[in-house]
Structure 1
Amino acid sequence: MTIRKLASGRWQVDIQPQGRGGRRVRKSFDTKAEGIRWERAQLAAADKGEWVPPQRDKRRLQDLIAEWYKLHGHTLKRGEQRRDYLLSLCELMGNPLANQVTAGFYAEFRQQRLQGDLKTNKRHRGPISANTCNHDLAYLRAVFNELIRLGKWQGDNPLSGVRRLKYDDHELSFLDRTQIEQLLTALKESGSKHAYLVAKICLATGARWSEAQSLRGEQIRNSRITFSGTKSGKVRSIPIGEALEQEIFMERPRTGPLFQYCYKAFTRVLDKCNIELPKGQASHVLRHTFASHFVMRGGNLLTLKEILGHADIKMTMRYAHLSPEHLEDAIAKNPLAELA
């Protein structure tokens, strides 16, 4: 019998219950004591002739994804989208046997994704970023973790030992006052009243574009917007000025959907304004603009966390460097200040 500690901190038992030349079995445990107990039980069963070799799992990765969705994924807010994303990843991987998905197998697949060497489907176009790779890894790990919890996957999560890729964070871009005025004027002149008002709501509340665009009249009362069905699942209520509320309902009923789909109209106007933004930040630039100006004007980070609906303060801390106090401390407390 061989029992060894893995890099993950778990203990792996490697035995041949039927003796040399017999079927080899490996199984991992959280503690060494659990491994020893399991090993003794297997050997005792073999001595009595009652040991049955475990059947090979012939399921493919696609089968695991389907089972994960049936038992758990359908309960997630965006479960159907997650399932479709996972299935398209599975297609790129060649839909391997589930027991062929090892840390090494995935690491090679990831490297091909990073280099853009794979034949991509519509959903995945390479090369991709390290951040996208980390999302892929998290989604696949979650499938195995949930099936293990439900007793539908025997053994360890094969991707538990794969490390996330490190990458440099991109600074969150935001619009200055001149750019805000330029954008709102251009939106107003474009004739898209929906895009213009949705943009103003995002700038006034820090809402995501999708949250503002899907608002119903019932969600705005007493100069306050209540967002529900959000990404985090939290309901949050943000005050707005009376003038904005009156502008929203000037030509709209107090009940039912307020806006049509208008994101493309917004991005077209944004492009015409020649406002340069890092790739991928157009959809959130108004949210970042609200948060950045909030902090620069002395807003409290904990309050901002609640306004934005962040689950973790770490997300909100991305704006901390914009705080006036933060900048003043850099001037007052640097070593040159002592020499002045």
Structure 2
Amino acid sequence: MAIQKKANGRWQADCQPEGRGGKRVQRTFNTKGEAQRWLTAQKAAADRGEWSPPKRDNRTISQLVHEWYELHGHTLKDHTGRLNYLENTARWLGDPKAINFTAEDWILYRKRRLESPNEQGRQPCARTINHEHTYLNAVFNRLISIKKWTHPNPLKGVPKLRVAEPPLTFLSVEQLKALDAALLQARNPNVRTITRICLATGARWSEAETLEAERIHHGKIEFVDTKNGKNRSIPISRDLESEILSGRPISGRLFVGTNFRAFQEALARAKLKLPKGQLTHILRHTFASHYMINGGDLLKLNKILDHSTIEMTMRYAHLSPEHLEDAVERSALYSLERS
């Protein structure tokens, strides 16, 4: 029984559990500890008379993806989109046998992806490839946790690509006034109210647009079946509550039809140009930014926005009036001027 470090930094375990003349087996692991535990398990099984030579695992990446989907993936909120994403990733990888897939293969793959346009001629960005990384890593981790993949996760320890944080854009008070005036001109009876819900609660556009009358009570809006699967209740003013409920159904969806186009048209009338990909999401950014500018609490904002991590909410921390305010009186220039 032996453990050897390979040139790629991984650890190869080599043993003959049944002794000299028996079947020789090898496995490669990310850490020496994992290799040692595997060797110990093989020897213990042989001592109990329960050891048998492992069968070659010939499943491809796409087969693992579909097994993951049948056992777990179908329970996710966006299960269809996630499966499609993973199927494309497997195809772009060349659908290798999973047992042969390594961290080096992934690193070379993402390099090719960054340098080559896809079938539509679009160049994938680092953020897109990081999504692929996250999803495929989750497939391996889930299958490992339910004992359907007994080998190491090839993506374990592989860092994601660095992504430059985009500038945080939100609407100023003057821009909000211009947008509200443009919304008042809209023929769509819902678009202004949906916009105001987003600005008052930080809700995603889809959450506000699909709101049901039963979810508004006692001065609060309850958002259910959200992106992260958690329900949350956000207080609103009496005026906004009256506006939402006035003249609308007393049960079921409050806003019928699609209101997105009407919002686009209002932005155009207000002559507001937004960063790519921030059309309705600008309302969520605007709520969070003004919340912090007005002295809001970062942890409360995390709950209001339904962020999965505090790191996502930290993007707004610098807008707080108290953020790093002592930098002025603790700087080197301050010491010089006071001396």
Aligned residue for 1:311?
308
2:137 match: 141
Give the length in aligned residue pairs: 333
CA shift, 1:6, in A, is 7.8
SS in 1 for 2:221: strand
What's 2:26 paired with?
A: 25
Q: CA deviation at 1:194?
A: 2.0
The match for 1:281 is 278
**CA 1:318–1:38 in 2, change beyond 3 Å: closer, same or farther?**
same
The equivalent position to 2:327 in structure 1, one of 326, 330, 336, is 330
Letter in 2 for 1:185: A
Give the C-alpha shift of residue 227 in structure 1. 0.9
Aligned mates of 2:223, 2:186 — CA distance in 1: 27
Aligned to 1:114: 114
Partner of 1:194: 190
After TM superposition, the structure 1 = structure 2 runs for residues 45-194 of structure 1, keeping only pairs within 5 Å, are: 53-119=53-119, 126-194=122-190
Per the alignment, residue 251 of structure 1 pairs with 247
> How much does 1:315 deviate?
1.9
Alpha carbons of 1:7 and 1:300: their partners in 2 closer, same or farther (altered >3 Å)? farther
CA distance in 2: counterparts of 1:274 and 1:116, whole angstroms:
36
Query: C-alpha separation between the residues in 1 aligned to 2:20 and 2:65?
Result: 36
In the alignment, the residues of structure 1 paired with residue 286 and residue 33 of structure 2 have an alpha-carbon distance, to the nearest angstrom, of 46
* Shift of residue 31, structure 1, vs aligned partner: 4.5
CA contact (8 A) 1:12 1:35 kept: no
CA contact (8 A) 2:199 2:284 kept: yes
Range moving further from structure 2, 1-10 or 301-310: 1-10
Q: State the alpha-carbon separation in 1 of the partners of residues 167 and 124 from structure 2.
A: 19
Match of 2:102, as an amino acid?
T
Q: Which runs of 4+ in 1 moved over 6 A?
A: 6-10, 16-20, 42-45
- The Cα shift of 1:8 comes to 11
State the percentage of identical aligned residues.
45
Give 1:156 deviation, angstroms.
0.6
How big is the shift at 1:27?
A: 4.3
Q: In structure 1, what residue type is equivalent to 2:116?
A: G
- Tell me how far apart the structure 2 counterparts of residues 6 and 191 of structure 1 sit (CA, whole Å): 68
Higher mean C-alpha displacement, 196-205 vs 92-101: 92-101
- Contact preservation (8 Å) 2:183, 2:263: yes
Q: Determine the C-alpha separation between the residues in 2 that align with 1:300 and 1:74.
A: 36
* 1:34 equivalenced with 2:37 (yes/no): yes
Contact 1:92 1:118 in 2 (8 A): no
The answer as to 2:261 corresponding to 1:296 is: no
CA distance in 1, matches of 2:34, 2:58: 28
Question: Which stretches in structure 2 are left out of the alignment for 5+ residues?
Answer: none
* Structure 1 Cα separation of the partners of residues 128 and 176 of structure 2: 30
Distance in 1 (CA, whole Å) between partners of 2:208 and 2:313 is 20
Which deviates the most, 29-38 or 3-12?
Answer: 3-12
CA distance change for structure 1 residues 334 and 206 in 2, over 3 Å: closer, same or farther? same
| Code of the aligned partner of 2:63 | D
Distance 1:209 1:249 in 2: 18
SS at match of 2:185: helix
Sort the Cα spacing of 1:226 and 1:39 in 2 relative to 1 into closer, same or farther, 3 A.
Answer: closer
Distance 2:287 2:205 in 1: 12
- Structure 1: any 5+ residue segments left out of the alignment? none
CA contact under 8 A between 1:112 and 1:118: conserved in structure 2? Answer: no
Offset of residue 23 of structure 1: 5.9
Once the two structures are superposed, residues 257-280 of structure 1 have per-residue CA deviations (whole angstroms, 9 ceiling, x without a partner) of 011322233234324534233322
Distance 1:328 1:163 in 2: 34
Alignment deviations for residues 101-144 of structure 1 (CA, whole Å, 9 cap, x no partner): 32222222211222234435xxxx63122122111101001111
Q: How does 1:232-251 map to 2 (within 5 A)?
A: 232-251=228-247
User: SS state of the match for residue 190, structure 1?
Assistant: coil
* 3-state SS of 1:13 partner: strand
Q: Taking structure 1 as reference, are residues 65 and 202 closer, same or farther at Cα in structure 2, changes over 3 Å only?
A: same
3-state secondary structure, aligned to 2:327: helix
Cα offset for 1:202? 0.2
Identify the range of structure 1 (272-281 vs 294-303) with the bigger mean alpha-carbon deviation. Answer: 272-281
Query: Could you tell me how far apart the structure 2 residues matched to 1:25 and 1:69 are?
Result: 30
TM norm structure 1: 0.86
